[in-house]
Structure formats: structure tokens, C-alpha cells
Amino acid sequence: MAKGKYARKRLLKQLRTRLINESGLSEWIIKALTRAEINTMADLFICNEEKLKAVPGIGDKAMIELRKLRNSLK
């Protein structure tokens, strides 16, 4: 897990170059996130759960998949 201000900045810098298409998420989740202008892994990492739940097409099943991915990034 990224600890401290600088570790978090380094992680976000690395994640800015990775697109969510490369994440291994389900295609329908990627389409929903793209419509909500969440295109990179950094965008996904920055979003809180309330914002993600508000995205049309993201339900409980998608949130489980997103939590697993976000936890693997920390």
C-alpha cells in the first residue's frame, strides 16, 4: 500500500499512463467508466466509491470487481 504523500504521487504518476482497457475489467464496466470520462487507472484510483456508484451501469457486481482492482493497486 502506498504510504505517505510522495508514495501516493509516484503511484498516481505510474497509473496515468495505464488505460482502463488494460486493466482486465469486464468490457461493460470499461464502457460505463469511459462514458463517465474515467479513462486511466489514475482516474479510477482517485474516484471514491460514491462517485463510482453514481456512474450509470455500475452496480453491486461491478463494484466488487472495481474494489478488487483498486485494492490490488494500493
- Residue-wise pLDDT tens digits, 3-61: 677 877 777 777 788 899 988 899 999 999 999 999 998 898 889 999 999 999 999 99
57 close to 66: Cβ distance less than 8 angstroms: no
**Full-model pTM:** 0.78
pLDDT of residue 1: 46
Q: Are the C-beta atoms of 38 and 19 separated by less than 8 Å? A: no
